[in-house]
């Protein structure tokens, strides 16, 4: 077969694009004063950038990022530029006990979205129908605690997970809505104040998982009932991605990566190289059954192109701490401490 110069150039360009694809920092927020409350010292003020805690892209162009201080970032061009706003009513203004306040955001389309946050020392759900220009408190939880994550399968049905700090309701909790966030009901409470839930995701309206401290729980009836699954590692789980009602990935502390292909009846463990076994892994995201990423502390980003059989290191920065991943149909975004947002095309 003969290759003409143009054909050779085209092959080089196509293979070269894949070869040089890399992560780029597209946004980094400046440091600002932040009041903190730690266990062994009096309240103090530290100078640090906001933590980008949660992101949501309902399409290729429109995206939102929430920071632990209540700052909202908005892009309408796929992350090229970001507009910075403050949520009203003001959320996450209380002094955080461990230096950070959790906050979650999820948009089902380019206008309708929800936030879970802290407002006047209570957990709240806020909603918007105008792309985040204005927000309304949709629901207040009567007891203290903190929501970690929110997920909607459609415009009506959604779930929020976190932890309660109340004598009657303690530990990991799951709240659910069937009417677009107008009303919420408690679906699950662990009853153990040591077991917090960090993330929830559903494959469809019936099948979903929630993960947290030493626990992976599953539902096959839309959250009417939840069952803890048998897992090979007793560790802290921070991230989950659900590919189908049968397949899911879970990551956590000390380099733990778990995978199921039978709805969680059995979980297999995937090992990283020994030098990364002590890393805390915070988020996992697959764009198809073969291609996926994992992020964690020291700015590590691992990539697989063979369905998780092997993982290679794409990025590392010891001064950074990456907390999450989200995708569009064209790009994947990583975010976390130091007010950082990174992007990579695929």
pLDDT tens, residue by residue, 6-55: 444 444 344 433 334 699 999 999 998 888 776 666 778 889 999 999 99
pLDDT of 9 reads 43
Q: What is the pLDDT of residue 98?
A: 60
Percent over 90 (pLDDT), the chain: 74
- Split at pLDDT 50, 70, 90, the class of 319 is confident
Start-to-end CA span in the chain (Å): 30
pLDDT(144) > 90: no
* pLDDT tens digits, 150-203: 999 999 999 999 998 777 777 899 999 999 999 999 999 988 776 889 999 999
> What pTM, to 2 d.p., does this model score?
0.91
Which of 231-235, 245-249, 305-309 is least confident?
231-235
**CA distance readout (Å), 32 to 81, 98, 282, 341:** 21, 17, 25, 17
pLDDT at 101: 84
pLDDT of the residue at 1: 44
Determine the Cα–Cα distance for residues 228 and 203; give it in Å rounded to an integer.
17
CB 295 within 8 Å of CB 332: no
pLDDT at res. 107: 98
- DSSP, collapsed to helix, strand or coil, labels residue 162 as strand
Q: For the segment 280-309, what is each residue's pLDDT rounded down to a tens digit?
A: 999 999 999 999 999 999 999 999 999 999
The whole-number pLDDT of residue 3 equals 42
Mean pLDDT for 303-316 is: 95
**75 contact partners, CB below 8 Å, separation of at least 6:** 61, 62, 63, 64, 81, 82, 83
Task: Name every residue whose Cβ is closer than 8 Å to that of residue 337 and which is 6 or more positions away in sequence.
Answer: 49, 51, 52, 320, 321, 322, 323
pLDDT at res. 10: 42
Residue-level pLDDT at 8: 41
Interatomic CA distance for residues 219 and 176, integer angstroms:
13
State the average pLDDT over residues 129-139. 96
pLDDT at 208: 98
DSSP string covering 49-85: PPPEEEEE-SSSS-EEEEETTSEEEEESSTTSS-EEE
- Which residues 6+ apart lie within 8 Å of 9 measured at CB? none
pLDDT at 95: 79
pLDDT of residue 21: 60
Would you state the pLDDT for residue 5?
46
Instruction: Check pLDDT > 80 for residue 318.
Output: yes
4: pLDDT strictly greater than 70: no
pLDDT tens, position by position, 63-105: 999 999 999 999 999 999 999 988 999 999 887 766 678 999 9
């Amino acid at each position: 077969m003969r290759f003409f110069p143009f054909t050779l150039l085209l092959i080089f360009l196509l293979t070269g694009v894949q070869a040089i694809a890399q992560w780029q920092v597209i946004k980094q927020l400046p440091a600002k004063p932040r009041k903190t409350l730690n266990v062994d010292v009096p309240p103090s003020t530290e100078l640090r950038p906001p933590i980008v805690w949660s992101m949501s892209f309902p399409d290729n162009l429109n995206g939102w990022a929430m920071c632990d201080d209540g700052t909202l970032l908005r892009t309408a061009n796929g992350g090229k530029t970001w507009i910075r706003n403050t949520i009203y009513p003001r959320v996450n203004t209380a002094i955080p006990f461990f230096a950070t306040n959790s906050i979650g955001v999820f948009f089902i389309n380019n206008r309708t979205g929800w936030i879970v946050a802290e407002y006047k020392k209570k957990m709240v759900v806020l909603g918007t129908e105008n792309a985040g220009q204005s927000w309304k408190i949709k629901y207040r939880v009567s007891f203290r605690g903190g929501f970690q994550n929110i997920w909607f399968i459609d415009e009506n049905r959604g779930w929020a997970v976190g932890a309660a700090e109340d004598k009657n309701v303690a530990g990991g909790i799951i709240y659910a809505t069937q009417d677009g966030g107008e009303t919420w009901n408690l679906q699950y409470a662990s009853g153990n104040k040591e077991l917090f839930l960090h993330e929830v995701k559903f494959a469809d309206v019936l099948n979903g998982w929630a993960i947290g401290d030493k626990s992976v729980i599953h539902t096959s009836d839309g959250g009417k009932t939840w069952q803890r699954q048998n897992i090979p590692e007793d560790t802290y789980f921070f991230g989950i991605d659900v590919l189908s009602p049968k397949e899911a990935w879970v990551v956590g502390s000390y380099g733990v990566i778990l995978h199921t292909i039978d709805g969680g009846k059995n979980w297999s463990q995937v090992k990283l190289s020994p030098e990364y076994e002590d890393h805390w892994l915070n988020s996992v995201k697959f764009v198809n059954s073969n291609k996926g990423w994992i992020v964690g502390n020291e700015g590590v980003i691992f990539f697989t192109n063979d369905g998780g059989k092997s993982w290679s290191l794409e990025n590392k920065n010891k001064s950074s701490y990456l907390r999450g991943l989200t995708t569009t149909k064209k790009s994947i975004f990583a975010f976390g401490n130091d007010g950082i947002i990174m992007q990579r095309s695929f």
